Structure formats: structure tokens, C-alpha cells
Structure 1
Amino acid sequence: MKIIIAVDSFKGTLSSYEAACAIEKGLRKLNEFTHAKIDIYPIADGGEGTLEAIFQYDSTAQKHSVPAKDMLGKDFSAPFLTFQKDGVTQAVVETASIVGLTMIAKEDRDVLRASTYGVGQVIKEILDRRIRTVYLGIGGTATNDAGIGMLHALGMRFLDQDQNDIGYGTKNIGKIAAIDTNAFDKRISQTQFITICDVTNPFYGPNGATYVYGPQKGVTEQMKDMIDDMFRSYNEVVHQTTGIDMQKRSGTGAGGGIGGAAQVFLGAKMQRGVDWMIEYLGLEKAVAEADIVITGEGKTDSQTLHDKLPMGIGLLAKKYDKYAVAISGDRTIQKEDLQPYGVNNIWAITDYFPVEQAMGNAFEALVDTATFAGKEWLHMYSTHNEGK
């Protein structure tokens, strides 16, 4: 029997690799799985855990760090990763590990000051190393500055009506009257940028960056209209300068507007996180050759049904008529919700343990959950394969 485990991170408790190892350990407790071939594929969608997932999977991957500023301007050592593909060095930047929500306490979040300047500093270091293919993972940011901080670090200047540089941060976006690209890093045009992101939200409006993701970053009800109006105004300046209307492009609202900055000024192509992971890890071939496919994440809910990684894995299993199940930390949906997407059943740690125990000792709780789940799905798997 061949099993593949492709789970996302259990945010706040386990990396994708740790979660996969816990599931394998739980299955190995059962006699039926003692001699099974189990392959682990750590996965991530471009947000938190992307660097770690790649590092655990790819033997050519190397971790690096560079002095940079976090979202509030404090100096720290920002990570990025390189790997080899066909003998060429490529780089991965994870915005969540530079200006991420998990890096700052909820009470300290200041969305009007928060800036993506550090992301630009990391990109500049990558360019200095003569790397010309850069994957930019967008997600889980504490910023909502339309990516102007990132662009500022790469030499772009944003000017008010008096031709003064407005600096960076969200609070002055509405003052932008012109964009000076004269000092913008020329190496950008010689570099291929690919954004890894599952967010398709537009730049502004009811479904845009500020209204949908702003509240978790500290955007209050009173701020929403003000910041959204600033995004509208800034988009007009971008449109006049470049001929590109960010509002008409999918995903420009990702990462508090980093998606728009990357598409327009870095020339980035957008790729869904799930599609990139499947391609990068060679998951299509692995699933085609597997007997059982296991996916999962920290919390499986209605959002999972919208282009999240577990559904991408489930649809791949469905394509090859493979038996797929999900094991997650928590869940608010049932197996019937997942079955159209190729996932036959779902189990969660919270099905067996209280939340406090699930969070306090997540690894062992997931081990036990995998054992319980394995016992239950053996019969279901046999039924699934009858007549094949």
C-alpha cells in the first residue's frame, strides 16, 4: 500500500512537515500500515509556512537572512530561501515571515504605520545575489499599504502635490499625486517574478484588500472607508502612470495590496498556491501512483472550499479516482461538503480532544487522531476499491 500525506501547516501549533510526521506516526501504530510506503509532502499556499515546507522537501534548498525592517520599522533578520532548478538558483520570499500577522501581538498592530518596506529590502538582497527568478509568497500580512513600502525600498518615490516624497506606510497613500520611477531598480525588468497566492480579491471595494482582510490587521469600522478611498485615489495615479487599472486585475488586493504592486511594477505573474505546489512537488505523479491520499490543515471550514490547498489535493485525487481523506486540527464542515471535491471523509483533533489539549500538545493529539481515523477508514477504503 502506498500512501501520500500532503497537509498544510496547523497555524500556531505545527508546521506542515510536523503535522505530516504526526499523521504518519499515528498510522504506523496500526498493523495494517506498518509496512505501507508513506511519502510526506509538506505543502503551503504562499502564506505562513511556505519557506519551511520547501526547505523540508527540497534537498537543494538553503535558508538565508538579511538585515531588514519589520512592519513597524524595527530592525530584524528577515529570512528568504533559495533552491536549484535545472542548475539555476531561484529564490522564495514569504511576506508572512517579514511583515506577518503572527509576528506582532494583536494589541500592537498599527495598520496606518505598518509598511512592506522590509519585503523590498529582501528582494533587493536577492537581486544583489544575481538571482533572476523570484517567487513571492503573499499572505498573512499585517500590512495594508498597497505594497508602496516594498516599492520604496526598491527605489520608487511617491510624491504629493508639492513633489515631496510621502515616505511609506498606509496613512499617506491618499496624498500620492505622482510616481517617480527614475531610481527604481533596473534589475527588476531583468527578473522574473511569480506571486504564489490563493487570494483573488480586487484592489479596493467591498471585496477588496481593506474591507475583507483589513479588520484582522487593525482596520476599524471608522477606518475602512478612509483607507478604501485612499486605495481608489492611488489606483487612479497608477492608472495614469502605467496605463494599468489594478481594480480590473484579479488578486491585486492580496497581502494588503502587495499583489497589485507586484503585478504592475514587478511584472509578476500570478499563480495559485495550490497549482504551484502541485507542480513544484510533482504531486500529480505521486497521487496517480498512490492508493490513499491524506490532506488537511489547521482548520477546515467553508473557506477551505474556495481554492484552498486541501481541496486542490482532493480534486487531484478525484481525477485519478484515489481514496482521499482529510485530517485537520478543527472543522466546521462535514464529509458531505468535501466529497464533491474528492475528499471522502474528514476527521479533526477536536473530534476527540478539547481545544485546550489540541493546542497544548498538538503533535501527540494529531498522532492519536490519525490512529483513530486510520481504523475507521480502512473499511471505507476497501469498499471504495471493490470492483476495481
Structure 2
Amino acid sequence: MAADKFKGSLTAREVADALRAGVSRTAPTARVVRVPVADGGDGTLEAALSAGFERRPVTVAGPTGDPVDTAYARRGDTAVVELADASGLLRLPGPPAPWAADTSGTGQVLATAIEDGCRQVVLGVGGSCSTDGGAGLVTALGAQLLDADGEPIAPGATGLRAVHRLDLTALRTRLAGVSVVLACDVDNPLLGPGGAAAVYGPQKGAGPDDVPLLETALAGWADLVARVTGRDLRDAPGAGAAGGAGFAALALLGAELCSGVRTVLDLVGFDDVVRSADLVVTGEGSLDEQSLRGKAPIGVVTAATRLGIPVVGVCGRTTLDAATLAEAGFRRVWSLADHEPDPAVSMRDAARLLTAVGADLGHHLHQLAPTR
């Protein structure tokens, strides 16, 4: 069982548990192994912990300043930091705050991991609630972002509009000898119609009048970073991820952009775990066109197919037709919508419905995956 979360309903582990319970009813001798996966967003931390990483708790500033209890995952000198768990939508104490929300909490988690001796950091981005261009992230790591009067800027995109000077001395000292991987499932640039403000701003509460102002703030930030570093990465794939946090990671942390799901699969040792499997089950809440652009289920299909293992999918709903799903590599896909047409009921009763799907899957195991 290598499914991602069903957003708003179940975590990846809960999805696997429900499916396993169903399979055990109709195929009691089947050995079911759970491998929770993610694409760099929500669930990345859980996937690492499920794979044996050690949980290191830390309390940091949430997206609007209130303290939140989060953690990073550690194995050896490698840390896994999930932006969503420190600075994500689920951490907002109230309504969306497109101008005030920032990523400083994520930077604080990363700083703690470095102070604890980690020298390799996997930074999973996704599920962000801010459009601060990663200003909070780098400030928490030592960068000084000052306005025209030499004063620290305010948090969030509000402060980004006033940033005039950037001092990277302390940040560079802290990051010396540290490598950062940006685990990301999107390839958006920072600016333009496909950028952070235009594409993701409305999802974070930005209205039609806010988007162009956010775009201007991000453009000014990109200009300043280019002047200070001598490199202009505003058009780099992934720069628009997490409200521009991807840009800050690439331009100021020297991060290497990697596929979010492939990074997570490597962290959990996916290939070794499933090499002897007869069937892989993957999925997510909504299996749609966006999934085909590199979301977790497609990463799982790609990896399993390379190993010669058939794959079936489970989802809350799908907008893809049978031919598209087959072309993507799925032998069969179960949708909860086929059992419960009311989305609200499906989300509320996802565990029960997934258990029923697991039972049906168990009935068909021999047809889906003859023993190799």
C-alpha cells in the first residue's frame, strides 16, 4: 500500500490501514506492507517517520506568528523538513492571510536541524498558505531583510513590498557545509501567469486586486536577490512553489530541485520494499490532470512499472477516463465516488469506503497480480 493522503479526510497511513483491513477480509493470507508516500507536501514528514526516521520535536512560529508544535525527521546527518507542517494551510489559526502569512517557522525548523548537526536537508514544499517569496524562511536562517530606513521588514508579503536591502552574511555562515534538496512537485516559475501569485495566490485568499500587488512585491524581491547574488532564478522551474519559497531555497540556500515524489520514494526505500511485491496499490483523494504532472501516485506507478510490478489505484474521485488511466499505467482504479456519489459523505466516511474497496481488491488479487 503506497498511497498518498486523501486530503481533508485521511492521512496516507490511515488510507493504507483502511485498505489493509478490507483486503484481510477477503484475502486473509495476503501479506500487505504499508509504505506511506507523499510528493513533498503534506505527509512528507509522516512518510519519513514511517520509514524509520527519528522524530525531532520543535516549537516554531506558525504562519501568522502563533506558536505551533511540529518536528523534523532525522536519520544520520539527514533531516527532512516539511513546510506544510510548520507554515502550511492547516496551521492557520483563522481565515486565510494572504499578506500576513509567512514561512519563518519553516526556516526555524531548518535552523534547528542544522544546529543539531544535520548536513543534508530535504525541504518538502507544498500546502503553503503564504506568498512571501521565502522571505520568512531565509530570515529565520540569518538573512537580514531591511527597508529603506534600515529597519527589519514586516512578516509576509506585506514586508516584501518594502524590502530594500538584503544581507546574507549570517545565512551563508550558517549554511556552510549544508546541502539542501528542494522536494517539489510543481515546476512553476516565480512570476507571470504561471507564477506563485497568479496560480496559487487565489488558493490562499488573495482576491483579484491582491494578485497584481503580490506579483509586484515578488518581482521587486527577485530584482534585489539578483543584484545581491549575481544570479537571477525567477524563471527557474519550482521557483513559484510554496508562494515563492522555492525561489528563496534555490537562489539563497543553493538548493537542488528534485521531484518531490521521487525524493520521498528514495527516502522510504520504495524500490527495495516493493521489489518482491506482486501488486502495488497507490492513489490520492483526487486523481486528475494535475496528478499526471508528477503527483505521488504517478511517481509510484513509474517506479513500480520500472520494476515490472502491476499497479492499481484508489481515489476519492477521478476526472480521468479509463483510457487515460490505463495509459498512465494503472491496471485498474477504484473511486469512492462509485460507491458514494455525495462528496461530503465520501470525505466523512472515507475509511469505511476504503475498507470496502480493499475487500473488493482482495477478491480480485489473483486476476490483478498473478504470482510472479
Do they fold alike, i.e. is TM over 0.5?
yes
Instruction: Report how many residues are paired.
Output: 371
The aligned counterpart of 1:375 is 363
Q: Greater relative contact order: 1 or 2 (C-alpha under 8 angstroms, separation 6 or more)?
A: 2
Query: Structure 1 residue 185: deviation in Å?
Result: 5.5
Query: Structure 1 residue 282: deviation in Å?
Result: 2.6
Closer/same/farther in 2, CA of residues 117 and 363 from structure 1, 3 Å limit: same
Matched letter for residue 223 of structure 2: E
Structure 1 vs Structure 2: percent identity of aligned residues? 31
Give ranges in structure 2 of 5+ residues lacking alignment.
none
RMSD: 2.0
**Aligned with 1:40 (options 27, 31, 34):** 34
Query: Structure 1 residue 167: deviation in Å?
Result: 3.4
Separation of aligned partners in 1, 2:306 and 2:171: 45
Separation of aligned partners in 2, 1:288 and 1:340: 22
Separation of aligned partners in 2, 1:37 and 1:182: 54
The aligned counterpart of 1:269 is 256
Separation of aligned partners in 2, 1:227 and 1:9: 30
Contact (CA 8 Å) 2:62, 2:92: kept in 1 or not? no
Superposed, which structure 2 residues align to 1:119-134 within 5 Å? 119-134=106-121
The aligned counterpart of 2:165 is 178
SS in 1 for 2:80: strand
Matched letter for residue 64 of structure 2: L
The aligned counterpart of 2:58 is 66
SS in 2 for 1:184: helix
Q: Which moved more, 1:241-250 or 1:209-218?
A: 241-250
**Aligned with 2:207 (options 189, 197, 220):** 220
Separation of aligned partners in 1, 2:365 and 2:318: 18
Superposed, which structure 2 residues align to 1:124-203 within 5 Å? 124-184=111-171, 186-203=173-190
SS in 1 for 2:193: coil
Is residue 89 of structure 2 the alignment partner of residue 97 of structure 1? no
**Aligned with 1:231 (options 194, 197, 218):** 218
**What is the CA deviation profile of residues 247-300 of structure 1, one whole-angstrom value per residue up to 9, with x for unaligned ones?**
231101111111111111111111111211222233234444322121111111
Contact (CA 8 Å) 2:77, 2:117: kept in 1 or not? no
Contact (CA 8 Å) 1:318, 1:341: kept in 2 or not? no
Closer/same/farther in 2, CA of residues 95 and 163 from structure 1, 3 Å limit: same
Contact (CA 8 Å) 2:47, 2:268: kept in 1 or not? no
**What is the CA deviation profile of residues 220-272 of structure 1, one whole-angstrom value per residue up to 9, with x for unaligned ones?**
11111111111112111111110111223110111111111111111111111
Closer/same/farther in 2, CA of residues 182 and 356 from structure 1, 3 Å limit: closer
Matched letter for residue 371 of structure 1: A
**Aligned with 2:68 (options 69, 76, 88):** 76
SS in 2 for 1:329: strand
**What is the CA deviation profile of residues 1-25 of structure 1, one whole-angstrom value per residue up to 9, with x for unaligned ones?**
xxxx210011122111111121111
Query: Structure 1 residue 181: deviation in Å?
Result: 1.9
Is residue 316 of structure 2 the alignment partner of residue 362 of structure 1? no
Contact (CA 8 Å) 2:68, 2:86: kept in 1 or not? no
SS in 1 for 2:70: strand
Contact (CA 8 Å) 2:47, 2:264: kept in 1 or not? no
Q: Which moved more, 1:136-145 or 1:312-321?
A: 312-321
Matched letter for residue 246 of structure 2: G
Q: Which moved more, 1:314-323 or 1:203-212?
A: 314-323
Is residue 7 of structure 2 the alignment partner of residue 19 of structure 1? no
Matched letter for residue 52 of structure 1: E
TM, length-normalised to structure 2 = 0.93
Contact (CA 8 Å) 1:158, 1:167: kept in 2 or not? no
Query: Structure 1 residue 378: deviation in Å?
Result: 4.4
Separation of aligned partners in 2, 1:315 and 1:304: 13
SS in 1 for 2:2: strand
Separation of aligned partners in 2, 1:281 and 1:54: 6
Separation of aligned partners in 1, 2:281 and 2:168: 48
Is residue 271 of structure 2 the alignment partner of residue 284 of structure 1? yes
SS in 2 for 1:291: coil
SS in 2 for 1:55: helix
Contact (CA 8 Å) 1:7, 1:19: kept in 2 or not? yes
Separation of aligned partners in 1, 2:68 and 2:279: 43
Closer/same/farther in 2, CA of residues 130 and 302 from structure 1, 3 Å limit: same
Query: Structure 1 residue 140: deviation in Å?
Result: 0.1
The aligned counterpart of 1:331 is 318
Query: Structure 1 residue 320: deviation in Å?
Result: 3.7
TM, length-normalised to structure 1 = 0.90
Separation of aligned partners in 2, 1:214 and 1:200: 16
Contact (CA 8 Å) 2:3, 2:36: kept in 1 or not? yes
Contact (CA 8 Å) 2:63, 2:91: kept in 1 or not? no
